[in-house]
């Protein structure tokens, strides 16, 4: 799967260097598309920190998962275009439900209802390395709490949890809460390319991906951060 992701990134002119965090040595076909191989550290945030350190720059970094093989250069370019218009330290890609359901009907995804619409999370994040360092403790807490409603409520506060359950929160409310907790400008980046959210976590998703790839769906050229870190 990672080869398809690398191909999409290589076809995106605005992507410069590519660091891949994973078990070393990389297979030759994968290594050919990577500028900086980085040994895996185990936990997600540890891997992300290792990739950022290996790139060694203050420029914005595009971080993404390796299990989104339908990713295209158009999707990467659209995400970067949308992020460019926002004042952010960290930008997290989200996809409207209508876009996801229209392109991939029946695929299992978790959706969150907000006053701005219904969204699912994507696998693209734009990060300023210095902001990641400042927010790392809070981000680690969020990762640990993500599967525990009680722990999540302690972290975000009961008002946020109740607002999420009621669908009364706005995107801006969540952004402001993250800013208050972590001291960074966090922004949701709405992207209308649902392939950024089609991570291969379930057998039915794998079947969809295999079908699309068998019919010739490949990362295509178009689009145009300076660096990228893939975990």
The tens digit of pLDDT for each residue in 51-80 reads 999 999 889 999 999 999 999 999 999 999
Q: Judge whether residue 147 has pLDDT over 90.
A: no
Q: What angle do CA 43, 48, 54 make, to 5 degrees?
A: 125
The percent of residues in the chain predicted with pLDDT above 90, rounded, is 65
> Tens digits of per-residue pLDDT, 187-208?
999 999 999 999 998 888 999 9
> Tens digits of per-residue pLDDT, 97-121?
999 999 999 898 989 899 999 999 9
- What global pTM score does this model have? 0.87
Q: Judge whether residue 221 has pLDDT over 80.
A: no
Domains and CATH numbers, the chain: 2-230 (3.90.550.10)
Work out the average pLDDT over 130-146.
85
Phi, psi of 2 (to 5 degrees): -65, -25
């Amino acid at each position: 799967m990672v080869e398809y992701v690398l191909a999409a990134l290589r076809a995106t002119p605005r992507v410069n260097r590519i660091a891949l965090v994973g078990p070393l040595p990389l297979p030759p076909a994968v290594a050919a598309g990577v500028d900086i191989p980085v040994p895996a550290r185990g936990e997600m945030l540890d891997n992300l920190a290792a990739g950022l350190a290996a790139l060694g720059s203050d420029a914005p970094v595009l971080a993404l998962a390796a299990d989104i093989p339908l990713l295209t250069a158009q999707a990467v370019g659209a995400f970067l275009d949308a992020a460019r218009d926002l004042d952010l330290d960290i930008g997290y890609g989200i996809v409207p439900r209508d876009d996801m359901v229209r392109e991939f009907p029946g695929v299992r995804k978790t959706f969150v209802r907000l006053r701005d619409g219904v969204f699912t999370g994507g696998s693209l994040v734009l990060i300023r390395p210095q902001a990641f360092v400042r927010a790392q403790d809070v981000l680690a807490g969020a990762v640990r709490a993500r599967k525990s409603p009680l722990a999540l409520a302690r972290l975000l506060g009961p008002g946020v949890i109740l607002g999420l359950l009621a669908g009364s929160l706005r995107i801006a409310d969540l952004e402001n809460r993250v800013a208050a907790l972590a001291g960074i400008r966090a922004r949701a980046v709405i992207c209308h390319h649902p392939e950024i959210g089609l991570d291969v976590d379930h057998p039915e998703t794998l079947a969809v991906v295999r079908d699309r790839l068998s019919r010739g769906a490949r990362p295509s050229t178009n689009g145009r951060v300076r660096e990228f870190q893939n975990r």
